[in-house]
Amino acid sequence: MGVLNVTPDSFGDSVRLVDLSSAVEAAVRMEAEGADLIDIGGESTRPGAAPVPADEEAQRVVPVVRALAGRLRVPISVDTTKAPIARAALAEGAALVNDISALSYDPALGRVAAEAGAGLILMHMRGRPAAMYAEAQYGNLMEEVARELDERLRAAVAAGVPRDRLIVDPGVGFAKRPADSYGVLARLPELARALDRPILVGPSRKSFLRDALDGRPAVERDWGTAAAVTAAVLGGAHVVRVHAVGAMAQVVKVADQIRSAWTD
C-alpha cells in the first residue's frame, strides 16, 4: 500500500503533494513501482497533529480520488475518520476506507462503508493523535490490542460491513511507546490467531524507529523501515503501508519468499 498524503504537514514525506497534478503523478509512479493499493489521506495523524475541518479535508482528498479513479489499475483507499469524506471518496471511485479510529470517532462511517460495499481497515489506537501517548499503558500488550480490535470488528459488523471485508491494523506507533511497537511487530502471529482477519502493518518512517537509527529524521528511515517491513511480512502481515514503494516492493518480495520457505 503506497502512502499518498495530500497534506502540508505530513511527517514522512520529503515532498508536499498539495496540488492535484503532483498528487496524481506520485500515485501513478507508485503504481508503476509496485504498489497494489494507493492510500490517500488529507489529514495528518502524526503525534500532536491538529484536527482538519471536514470541508478542508474534502477539498484535499476528493479531487485526487476523482482524478485517479480512471487512471489507476489498483484499488484506491481513503485514509479518513469522517463519514462524509468516506462517502464522497467512495462515490468518486475509492474501494476501501482506512479508519485509524476503527469507527470510534465517527460511528456513521461504518454504515457508509456498508452501503457502498467497500472494504474497511480498522486500526488499533487509544485517544486522539494530539495526546495518544498518554494512553500507552499496557498490562498484556497483544492481548489488549487483540481484544480492543475485536470490539471494533464487532462494531463494524453491527454497522452492516461483512466480516470478510474487514482488515485489522495493530497501529504501530499509535498510542504505543517504541517498545510496544517493536512488541507488536515481534508478536503479529498472536494477532492473526486471535482475530482471523487480514492484517495491515504501517511502520514506514515512524518515530519508533528513531532511537535505533541514531535520531535520523523521518525521510532518512527507509533502511529501518525495510527491517520493520520484513518483520511484518514474516509475522504474517497481508499488507504493508509504505512511503518508498519501489524499494519496499523489493523488500516484500524477498521477505515473502522467506516466509514461503518456512511454510513449505
Q: What would the pLDDT profile of 108-126 be if each residue is shown by its tens digit?
A: 999 999 999 999 999 999 9
pLDDT of 14 strictly over 50: no
Domains of the chain: 2-263 (3.20.20.20)
* C-alpha cell belonging to residue 243: 512511503
Could you identify the residue written with the cell 480498522?
Answer: 122
Q: Among residues 206, 210, 221, 259, which one is catalytic?
A: 206
CA 130 to chain centre: 18
Average pLDDT for the chain = 93
Which pLDDT value is given to residue 24? 94
In the chain, beta strands by DSSP E: 2-5, 38-41, 76-79, 96-99, 119-123, 166-169, 200-201, 239-240
Q: Catalytic: 206? A: yes
Rounded-to-10 torsion of CA 217, 219, 224, 227: 160
Cα–Cα distance between 192 and 183 in angstroms, integer?
Answer: 14
Give the SS3 label for residue 175.
coil
Q: What is the largest CA-CA distance in the chain?
A: 51
Query: Residue 121 contacts by C-beta under 8 Å, 6 or more apart in sequence?
Result: 77, 96, 97, 98, 99, 166, 167, 168, 169, 200
Q: Among residues 205, 241, 253, 259, which one is catalytic?
A: 241
Q: Compute the average pLDDT of residues 105-109.
A: 97
* C-alpha cell belonging to residue 240: 504493508
Please give the model's pTM, rounded to 2 decimal places.
0.94
